[in-house]
Structure 1
Amino acid sequence: MSENKNVNKQKSGMGGPGGGPMGSFARGPVVKAKDFKGTLKRLLSYLKPQRVNFILVFIFAIFSTIFSIVGPKISGWAITRLVEGLIAKFTAIGQNTALVKAGKDANITIPSIDFTYIRNVILLLLGLYLISTLFGFLQQYIMAGVAQKTVYNIRRDVEDKISRLPLKFFDARTHGEILSRVTNDVDNIATTLQQSLTQLITSIVTIIGIIVMMLTISPLMTLVVILTLPLYILVTALVAKRSQKYFAAQQKEIGALNGHVEEMYTGHKIVKAFGHERDSIKEFKNINDKLYNAGWKAQFISGIIMPMMRFVSNIGYVVVSVVGGYLAIQGKITIGDIQAFIQYSSQFTQPIVQTANIANIIQSTVASAERIFELLDEVEEIPDSTDSKIIEFPKGEVKFENVNFSYKTEEPLINNMNIDVKQGHTIAIVGPTGAGKTTLVNLLMRFYEIGAGNITIDGVDIRDIKRGELRNMFGMVLQDTWLFNGTIFDNIAYGRKGATEEEVMQAAKAAHAHHFIKTLPDGYNTILNEEASNISQGQKQLLTIARAILANPTIMILDEATSSVDSRTEVYIQRAMTELMQNRTSFVIAHRLSTIRDAELILVMNKGSIIEMGNHNELLEKNGFYADLYNSQFTGAALDNEVV
């Protein structure tokens, strides 16, 4: 539940709905990278293998834009020829009319409009626009490949990196944060490469091309258009400044709303059981009202930008028309050129706004890339030794010799630990929360590296064994069950590759899971959902135990394996575990001390040290920490003694 919530909150903070008419240009504050240049340079290095294709994209974008830009200029030729033909025609008609009125013969030939020229110009325009479209298609087609191959390489590197990161990396971060980097940040880069980068190239080429075309028509009118740019910038800056705080508030409330809805949805049984429906609805309305107010203000203020920019554009249009008309009267410019220039001036602001939008998007994208590169730069777990050893037939003899360990250098947890575990023995580990019980298991499986000393299996230092080979010796059943979306059969068969149906069923019977599985509608083919919430917690635990039984490991690790099952089922499982643990070394972490009375050795831990050691009867006779702990569970006595 918490994992999904984190992911949703991450997603809600990355843009979200409500960009207004101007999109990200009027959106909330853009997340910026700490090292923009360094991160951008590193991101571009991923584009190097695609540099030939990227250059082609750039060339095609230039050609596509150029063929599109020259369109208004060429269409101006047709308009000029049409206007000149009409003027000549009406002039000749007027002259003939004047001659007739004067009693003379109307002998002036009325010229015809050159429709052949106009047709050729129209065909030329069609050809240019078709070519422009073709280049645009090729540009998008190639860029799709460039973007996806680049992101594919990034995803591959991230996946490889995650597989090499130590457990402490995942312990120190929420799953939502890691998932956000792997999914949201990578998708952000993919979108920018696919869409924004081509738009940026097109916009820049369009701005340069339009300025060049306007200068060829009239430098004076070009100056008039350029002088309106400060007005655009002023209007946008004023509105964006006011809207940013409301967009930030909107994103904050969206995250709060998502979190509240998910929390209430996933915990709706608890909400109903304790009668908090009204409180939940009241909280929803409160957040929803805040979101409405922030969203309304953000959308309204950002919505003002377009009308104000149209107003500035219309001012420019009026000035261009007046100046163009004056120049046309003086014969310095044609009507077709005025029409083409007006088209250029109306197109001039759009690529500028797009460029500003994309500049913000690139800032956000580089920030995403920086988060990914931070992940790629994390310290990896120590690589396996080049001369790693393989224990072909492990016995399961485990030895801790003078082992020291600490999560933080200034706070030691395990000091000078010495344990000698013989083959087939069951070692129970008990102690208060935070005593170091689970840490012991993490060290044994090399999820964490010891600070000093040695841990050996069958006399071989675990640091000299490949991690994969080492962990194959172990079978684990944890208090927190882990089952994936799939059939019950697949979840149990996960314990051993190539397991047959008969073997899976035998493992389920040994774990006392066979009966409840057969009562399900589809039996072993029943699909478990993403959180396996369609079966009970106790049933989940039974399936994980069946999976461990099927794995048939050399060493078993049981971390409160029966904590989620009823007392009767616990008895059955204890019998199955006793049979399973015969001739097999087992480490049992337990809070219910009744489950470990038959263990050959019980380690009592407190604050990272073994304070007592022995079997159940020996420890009771000592009348120490274990005896107090044991008696507190069966007599209700308070455990007030704290061992220093």
Structure 2
Amino acid sequence: ISRLTNDIMLMRQSVSQVFTGLIKETLSMLALISVMIYQSWQMSVMAVVILFFAILPVYKLGRRMRKIADATQAQLGDFTGQLDATFQGVRVVKAYGAEAYEIERARLTIRQLFKLYYKASRVQSAAAPIVNAAGTSAIAVVIWYGGYGAVHGTTTAGDLLSFIAAMIMAYRPFKTVAGLTTQLSEGMAAAKRFFTVLDQPAEIQNREGAVPLVVSQGEISFEKVSFHYAGGHGGISDVSFHVRRNSTVALVGASGAGKTTIMNLLLRFYEAQAGAIRIDGQDVRDVTIHSLRSAFAFVSQDIVLFDDTVRANIAYGSAGASEAEIIAAAQKANAHEFISQLPHGYDTMIGPSGVKLSGGQRQRLSIARAILKNAPILLLDEATSALDTASERAVQAALEALMQGRTTLVIAHRLSTIQHADCILVLDGGRIADAGTHAELLATSTLYQKLHQLTDAGDIRAAEPVA
């Protein structure tokens, strides 16, 4: 975030102030140097040679300034992230009485920023004395040489005075350019950080010759798919299954079994390292990313809402949706009633991440968004996890009606929500351990029986992977 705010501000200042100042002052300096050369090229050479010795220290100051500016912006970015995390978790901070700890963390970071800003100020201030010393020396040498020439008749007093006047006038833009150089280094450091992000290629891109996905049946196939995260931890290994048209397949298993990884690979948030994933026989790597993701409606257990109106959040991804369609989606998600009670109804701003709503209300908005998209394939990552019992029943009924005529892949932490699934895949350690209907698995799968018992006691997310 800091690279898109503070760095851009420094780049803007460099362009609007530094570059315009450099152009103006450089042209003035060149014009005055031309006058000096016209008056006496010998004295001009002396002055330029002496001033040249000031260029190297100023250049070194610029390089040092760039390093300091880079460190400052990096520290400022860390501070921005630290503050964001603290504000997001303010309830946890208060609940654990950690206010003093967070204040001390902020104080230490601010001290580091102060030290960096102080160093930057010293570097910027160092350019002026160097240029002053060089300018004074140049004037002294010119007066000595010109005075000697005036005494011996090689030059006139008028020529000497006019040269000194032009030199003094050229000194001001030279000093200004030297000062702007250090500011320019700060802007260049910001530009480097900004373009490092801007030029970073997307990890997942369309293949050459990729074509739009055509969904006719909505069938999904995983064929010996493997994927592991950095370091070889987590992921899935040699996973194969087939989701028939208009059927519902549920994924169950302990945390880390690979359920979410399967959905991430299906949406191409990550690329499969082995095997193939197909939709209606089309390899997802051979179709455009936009058309692939347009075929899915996704409801995650991690609720994502934006600092916008209720209407905008429901219609997110469904540009051109009418008011009636938005309200109908909210009604199916059991959200219309509480939305109508908000201060401005569907025009109510819900704050960053929907902080003005309860957890259940936020989840129902995300479900309404998926309902409105009306995609041929549904991905549900425990979509009713944040709802109370009454709301869960209403939304579950709406989801079951929505799943009719659509291919659905469900991640379940409570087995009661997927008992009627056409097929349940039991994952363990990134592999499919068992598969079948609810009744079949209860009769034949020891792992599923254990998960079912844990469901009766609470939530299978607390389960440990079975060896």
Map of 2:2 onto structure 1: 8
Q: Mark the CA change 1:525 to 1:593 in structure 2 (over 3 Å): closer, same or farther.
A: same
Map of 1:575 onto structure 2: 397
**Paired residue secondary structure (2:224):** strand
1:546 deviates by: 1.1
Q: Given the two structures, how large is their TM-score scaled by the length of structure 1?
A: 0.61
Of the three residues 257, 267, 284, the one matched with 2:89 is 267
Alignment of 1:612-627 (within 5 A): 612-627=434-449
- Letter of the 1:614 partner, please give it: G
Map of 1:484 onto structure 2: 306
1:580 deviates by: 1.8
- Kindly indicate whether residue 221 of structure 2 is the aligned counterpart of residue 380 of structure 1: no
Query: How many pairs were matched up?
Result: 461
1:627 deviates by: 1.4
- Kindly indicate whether residue 316 of structure 2 is the aligned counterpart of residue 494 of structure 1: yes
Alpha-carbon contact 2:79-2:109 (below 8 Å) kept? yes
Of the three residues 530, 537, 541, the one matched with 2:363 is 541
Q: Distance in 1 between matches of 2:325 and 2:304?
A: 21
Q: Distance in 1 between matches of 2:266 and 2:465?
A: 30
RMSD after superposition: 4.0
1:560 deviates by: 1.7
Of the three residues 519, 529, 540, the one matched with 2:351 is 529
1:543 deviates by: 0.8
Q: Deviations over 1:113-155 (max 9, x none)?
A: xxxxxxxxxxxxxxxxxxxxxxxxxxxxxxxxxxxxxxxxxxx
**Paired residue secondary structure (1:228):** helix
Q: Mark the CA change 1:613 to 1:262 in structure 2 (over 3 Å): closer, same or farther.
A: closer
1:538 deviates by: 2.0
Alpha-carbon contact 1:189-1:369 (below 8 Å) kept? no
Q: Mark the CA change 1:362 to 1:584 in structure 2 (over 3 Å): closer, same or farther.
A: closer
Gaps of 5+ in 2: none
Q: Distance in 2 between matches of 1:367 and 1:296?
A: 22
User: Highest CA radius of gyration, 1 or 2?
Assistant: 1
- Letter of the 1:627 partner, please give it: Q
Q: Distance in 2 between matches of 1:405 and 1:424?
A: 26
- Kindly indicate whether residue 167 of structure 2 is the aligned counterpart of residue 344 of structure 1: yes
1:513 deviates by: 0.4
1:523 deviates by: 0.6
Q: Mark the CA change 1:382 to 1:211 in structure 2 (over 3 Å): closer, same or farther.
A: same
1:451 deviates by: 5.3
Q: Distance in 2 between matches of 1:295 and 1:491?
A: 41
- Letter of the 1:347 partner, please give it: A
Q: Deviations over 1:548-590 (max 9, x none)?
A: 2222332211012122222332222112212222233211111
- Letter of the 1:306 partner, please give it: A
Q: Deviations over 1:325-347 (max 9, x none)?
A: 44445552352652343332452
1:358 deviates by: 7.9
Alpha-carbon contact 2:333-2:398 (below 8 Å) kept? yes
Map of 2:379 onto structure 1: 557
Alpha-carbon contact 2:11-2:190 (below 8 Å) kept? yes
Q: Mark the CA change 1:534 to 1:459 in structure 2 (over 3 Å): closer, same or farther.
A: same
Map of 1:317 onto structure 2: 139
Alignment of 1:403-442 (within 5 A): 403-407=224-228, 413-442=235-264
Map of 1:306 onto structure 2: 128
- Kindly indicate whether residue 452 of structure 2 is the aligned counterpart of residue 642 of structure 1: no
Alpha-carbon contact 2:255-2:465 (below 8 Å) kept? no
Q: Mark the CA change 1:320 to 1:378 in structure 2 (over 3 Å): closer, same or farther.
A: farther
- Letter of the 2:99 partner, please give it: E
**Paired residue secondary structure (2:413):** coil
Which segment drifts farther, 469-478 or 552-561?
469-478
Q: Distance in 2 between matches of 1:278 and 1:446?
A: 43
1:214 deviates by: 1.8
Alpha-carbon contact 1:476-1:558 (below 8 Å) kept? yes
Map of 1:115 onto structure 2: none
Q: Mark the CA change 1:294 to 1:587 in structure 2 (over 3 Å): closer, same or farther.
A: closer
1:288 deviates by: 3.8
Q: Mark the CA change 1:204 to 1:450 in structure 2 (over 3 Å): closer, same or farther.
A: same
Q: Mark the CA change 1:355 to 1:564 in structure 2 (over 3 Å): closer, same or farther.
A: same
1:632 deviates by: 2.4
- Letter of the 2:2 partner, please give it: N
Q: Given the two structures, how large is their TM-score scaled by the length of structure 2?
A: 0.81
